[in-house]
């Protein structure tokens, strides 16, 4: 997916999600990088509310516009995080964790307010695309091909994907794929379920095809992904 960017914007990316900026001139940016062994998006979603808003939302972009009134406060929080990491004093991690929670809560509110404003300012998403979301949520494990969803909505694949691209900036196939990857990651992170069984439950008859599919989108095989993540979590299964 390609998008434009400008000053005072924040982008939120999921773990293992590749991204690149191609500026026309020199720019300065801050990268806030944290991992599940420090802050688990799924586990703390009830406290922060960012799961499905800032992260793991396949139907919305991660771009957040910062109003001038919020820029200074968010910059201060970021500087506090930097200073705590630099000092490495007693209880420093706890303070960083608290600052990060505040930072994510503020971003979640900004993103929610922004999404609401966009909905009221621009043409609403067509009803059939809302039906598409419901169909994908219900059938993504069994139905991996856009043709199924187009048929259910009495549309051609080309027309449906064009509409999805316009409103969600992703094709129907990309939406299905992201849903499958999110579910696969959750199962690998939070359960002891064998990879072969996860593949079957997600509609892959061949475990090796599932592994190739997963590696293509994440960069690691399911086995490598689980081992690396559990290693970071010290073997702890963080179940929400």
Supply 148's token pair.
């199924």
What pTM did the predictor assign? 0.64
User: Cα–Cα distances in Å, from 111 out to 10, 47, 60, 122, 177?
Assistant: 10, 16, 10, 16, 24
Give the CATH number, domain containing residue 203: 1.10.10.60
Task: Supply the DSSP string of 77-130, one letter for each residue.
Answer: HHHHHHHHHHH--TTHHHHHHHHHHHHHHHHHHHHHHHHHHHHHHSPPPPHHHH
Q: Is residue 151 part of a domain?
A: yes
Examine the fold and report which residue of 76, 91, 118 is the final residue of a domain before the chain moves on.
Answer: 118
More confident residue, 39 or 194: 194
Q: What is the pLDDT of residues 183-195, one digit of tens each?
A: 998 899 888 899 9
Host domain of residue 219: 127-235
pLDDT at 67: 85
Q: What is the pLDDT of residues 195-220, one digit of tens each?
A: 999 999 999 999 999 999 999 998 89
pLDDT at 208: 95
DSSP 200: H
The reply to whether 103 and 145 lie within a common domain is no
Q: What is the pLDDT of residues 108-130, one digit of tens each?
A: 888 877 765 555 444 578 899 99
Q: Is residue 158 part of a domain?
A: yes
The band of 239, judged by pLDDT with boundaries at 50, 70 and 90, is very low
Q: Comparing C-alpha atoms, which of 154, 8, 127 is closest to residue 75?
A: 8
Q: Is residue 1 part of a domain?
A: no
The reply to whether 165 and 211 lie within a common domain is yes
The reply to whether 65 and 154 lie within a common domain is no
The reply to whether 16 and 114 lie within a common domain is yes
Using DSSP's 3-state secondary structure scheme, residue 65 falls into strand
Q: What is the pLDDT of residues 146-166, one digit of tens each?
A: 999 999 999 999 999 999 988
Examine the pLDDT at 25 and tell me if it is beyond 90.
no
Q: Comparing C-alpha atoms, which of 140, 149, 143 is closest to residue 181?
A: 140
The reply to whether 168 and 201 lie within a common domain is yes
User: Cα–Cα distances in Å, from 161 out to 1, 90, 127, 138?
Assistant: 14, 53, 15, 19
Q: Is residue 149 part of a domain?
A: yes
pLDDT at 120: 45
The reply to whether 15 and 89 lie within a common domain is yes
What mean pLDDT, rounded, does the chain reach? 82
HSE-up (13 A, CA, CB side) for residue 65: 9
Q: How many domains does the chain have?
A: 2
Neighbour-count burial of 104, counting CB atoms closer than 10 A to its CB (0-12 exposed, 13-18 middle, 19+ buried): buried
DSSP 7: S
Least confident of 39-48, 54-63, 127-136: 39-48
Q: Check: CB of residue 61 under 8 Å from CB of residue 3.
A: yes
């Amino acid at each position: 997916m390609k998008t434009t960017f400008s000053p005072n914007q924040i982008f939120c990316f999921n773990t293992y999600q590749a991204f690149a900026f191609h500026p026309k001139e020199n720019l300065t940016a801050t990268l806030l990088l944290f991992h599940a062994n420090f802050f688990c998006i799924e586990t703390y979603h009830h406290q922060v509310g960012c799961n499905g808003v800032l992260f793991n939302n396949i139907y919305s972009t991660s771009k957040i516009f910062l109003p001038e009134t919020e820029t200074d406060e968010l910059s201060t929080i970021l500087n506090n995080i930097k200073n705590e990491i630099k000092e490495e004093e007693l209880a420093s991690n706890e303070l960083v964790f608290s600052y990060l929670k505040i930072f994510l809560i503020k971003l979640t509110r900004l993103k929610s307010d922004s999404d609401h404003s966009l909905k009221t300012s621009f043409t609403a998403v067509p009803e059939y695309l809302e039906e598409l979301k419901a169909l994908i949520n219900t059938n993504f494990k069994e139905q991996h091909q856009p043709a199924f969803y187009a048929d259910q909505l009495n549309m051609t694949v080309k027309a449906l994907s064009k509409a999805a691209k316009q409103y969600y900036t992703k094709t129907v196939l990309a939406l299905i794929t992201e849903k499958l990857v999110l579910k696969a990651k959750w199962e690998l992170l939070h359960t002891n379920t064998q990879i072969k069984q996860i593949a079957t439950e997600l509609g892959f008859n061949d475990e090796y095809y599932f592994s190739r599919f997963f590696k293509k989108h994440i960069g690691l095989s399911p086995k490598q992904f689980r081992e690396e993540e559990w290693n970071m979590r010290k073997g702890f299964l963080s179940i929400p």
